[in-house]
Structure 1
Amino acid sequence: MLRVRFTADDLLRVTFAREPAPLMELGLALAAMQRIGLPPVFGRWQQSLRRTLPRGARPLLELVPPSGRGPLFMDPLSRGLDDGLDAVLSTPGGYVRSELDRVCSAGRRPVTPWLRALADQDRDAWRLLADSLRTAYDSVLGESWGTIRSAFDAERAWRTRLLAEEGIRATLAGLAPGPGWRGTTLEFDWPEEALLELDGRGLVLLPTTVWSGWPMLALRPGLPSVLVYPALSPLPLLGEVPRAEPLAALLGSTRAAALGLLTRQRTTTDLAAELSIAKSSASEHAKALRAARLITTERDGKAVWHSCTPLGLDLLAGTGGPGPAPRAQAVGGRR
């Protein structure tokens, strides 16, 4: 049982990550690859990972145990792979050593020559770590990252609406299996007994598409803790969801694709770039969706931000989401 004790300040400081963390997702994927007894939905995906993981990525298995509880310096919240790698490579030496000691002393990973070299800040060891992380990301997540990002956006939109309708306690209790709340302590099913105090720094919610079962809690010194929990739709299913045509028939293919993108807040410029249309056309589509009360629009300085309304989310949920965004033959061309 995992018990997470909240203060009033913690409950006021619960936030949702703005985007998925590439290296966090990669670490959990490598852990899931090694686990026994995964749900059947992960079976074929797990077998494929075991078969295709490149030799250049395999050193990471010395760091990542099947439990997913590897060294925290490998799992930064970041705004992309390069940003994440920069964070890993700039980790203070003392924190690296303490995390490696924690992982190895708990019996999760044996002490190998490479891990000793990492703890001693050996340049060649750290160069191997960076190369292995990049190779593993390209092999395990690279082709799927757009799908993972879309699933994250949908999950975030749904949980945000749940928060508005049912409140913070119900939202947090529904993230993973467990008894729920006992006073200000939230309990989740977990393979060990643990009590964790958030100490008023708050909590960041981060869904993952490659992990199942119990949640993972990362305590970060001086920063809000991160609760990583399984998203509603796991990665192996995301590519199999049939694309719905009714929404495109109702709104038009470009407008339906725009609505699907707006499960995450985007600017008019973002919409134009992702739909490969002119900014003026993107503005027209947003105006039509706003008139139908499917999106809302806010101005922040020169930027105009759009996002789905609850009605828009209901429409997307009822049709399974829009099909893939059409590609323009020429910028500004009509659909």
Structure 2
Amino acid sequence: MLRIHFAGEDIGRVRIAAGPVPAWEMLLSLHALRGPADHGVFGPWRARTLGVLDASARLLLRLAPPRGYSPDFLTPTADNDIDSLVDAVQSTARRRLRTDLGLLAAQRGPAVWMRPLADGDTTALRCVGTAMFRYHQRVLAPAWDRIHAVVMAERAARVADLLDGGVERMLSRLHPHIRWEAPVLSVTYPVRKELHLGGRGLLLVPSYFCWARPIALRDSGLDPVLVYPANRGLQRLVEPPDTSNGDSLAQLLGATRAAVLQEIGGAEGVTGTDLVRRLRISPASASEHATVLRRAGFIVSHRTANTVWHMPTPLGRAVLERDSGVRAGHGCQRSPARAGFTP
């Protein structure tokens, strides 16, 4: 059990990451690569990803074992920028490297490749940075829009909790493995750990690749972070072929379904109840239309307790922007920027 102790000022210093954090998505996706091949959500992604990795990924897989400790220096920042992440890792202080790699060696046994990295050798650090950049480009970047949509759906749900009931309500509804009993946030965890915030606040990081239980940094002296699962809707990065309803895109031509997409995109996320009320359709109809839109890749859906939130994907937003541009032109010739767009 991880027990996070809040001082009075910490409640006002709880933040939610602005989007998916490359460092954490990278680390936790490396863990997922070592997971079962038949995993319901990660299995198809894992099979595809193992075929595109280059040799530099071996270093990252050594640094990030699927169980136990992974070095804190691999997740130094919440910046939503791969270049900033690489710079931060390559600038890691020697003391931090020695501490973290010493813990890794104690867990897995010392290895020859660890020594130059623990000594802060610039070539060894450059190799880590290069491996991280290549991994991001080959593995994460192609799926980033999907990851972003899932994480932002979770973020929207938490913001709604914050607006409706304050920070304490938000904390109480973070995840089934997280329990808020003021002034302590208790998290299901593989080891017993006490984290005293002491006025530093807490950064909440919803993550697509965080699975089963939340995770935190080992070193309590670092800025406090709690990473927790965002993918409650079990959204896959690689969707299985859908043969149940034929061509989902063709079904989008209906007026009601288009209105559902416009509602979801126009508000940057709505609940099923919102769709029923605003469009005056039945709950079953709202659910059916949302399902087709989700299969077509235009929205993602996210369940929190008994509420399902729907948010547009980048593809869904692009379709809405194109439709808006065509209607604004009243049938006139599209601009060159729009002319080549194919939904």
1:192 and 1:182 mapped to 2: Cα distance?
20
What runs of 5+ residues in structure 2 fail to find an aligned partner?
Answer: 243-247, 270-277, 279-307, 326-333
2:134 and 2:310 mapped to 1: Cα distance?
37
Q: Does residue 46 of the first structure (1) align with residue 46 of the second (2)?
A: yes
Q: 2:318 aligns with which of 320, 325, 332?
A: 325
Q: 1:259 aligns with which of 257, 260, 266?
A: 266
Give 1:93's aligned residue: 94
Q: Is the 8 A contact 2:105 2:111 kept in 1?
A: no
2:178 and 2:336 mapped to 1: Cα distance?
54
Q: Does residue 19 of the first structure (1) align with residue 19 of the second (2)?
A: yes
1:145 and 1:12 mapped to 2: Cα distance?
31
Residue 214 (structure 1) shift: 1.1
TM-score of the superposed pair, with normalisation by structure 1? 0.71
* Partner amino acid, structure 1, of 2:13: R
2:138 and 2:68 mapped to 1: Cα distance?
19
Give 1:79's aligned residue: 80
Q: Could you report, residue by residue, the CA deviation over 1:207-250 in whole angstroms, capped at 9, with x for unpaired residues? A: 11112111111367776411110003445268579789467733
* Partner amino acid, structure 2, of 1:171: M
Residue 181 (structure 1) shift: 3.0
TM-score of the superposed pair, with normalisation by structure 2? 0.70
Q: Counterpart of 1:40 in 2: which secondary structure?
A: coil
* Partner amino acid, structure 2, of 1:136: Y
Q: Is the 8 A contact 2:15 2:204 kept in 1?
A: yes
Identity %: 31
* Partner amino acid, structure 1, of 2:163: A
1:318 and 1:117 mapped to 2: Cα distance?
48
Residue 57 (structure 1) shift: 1.2
2:158 and 2:14 mapped to 1: Cα distance?
12
Residue 331 (structure 1) shift: 5.9
Q: Is the 8 A contact 1:12 1:202 kept in 2?
A: yes
Give 1:150's aligned residue: 149
1:145-224 matched pairs, under 5 angstroms: 145-178=144-177, 180-218=179-217, 224=223
2:338 and 2:60 mapped to 1: Cα distance?
47
Give 2:3's aligned residue: 3
Q: Could you report, residue by residue, the CA deviation over 1:17-41 in whole angstroms, capped at 9, with x for unpaired residues? A: 1122112211110012223598533
Q: Counterpart of 1:161 in 2: which secondary structure?
A: helix
* Partner amino acid, structure 2, of 1:24: W
Q: CA RMSD in A?
A: 3.4
Give 2:258's aligned residue: 249
Q: Counterpart of 2:15 in 1: which secondary structure?
A: strand
1:18 and 1:179 mapped to 2: Cα distance?
21
* CA distance 1:50–1:204, shift in 2 (3 Å): same
Q: Is the 8 A contact 1:11 1:168 kept in 2?
A: yes
Q: Counterpart of 1:190 in 2: which secondary structure?
A: coil
The number of residue pairs the alignment matches comes to 279
What runs of 5+ residues in structure 1 fail to find an aligned partner?
Answer: 264-291, 293-316
Residue 16 (structure 1) shift: 0.9
2:144 and 2:310 mapped to 1: Cα distance?
23
Q: Is the 8 A contact 1:257 1:324 kept in 2?
A: no
1:146 and 1:172 mapped to 2: Cα distance?
27
* CA distance 1:8–1:61, shift in 2 (3 Å): same
Give 2:34's aligned residue: 34
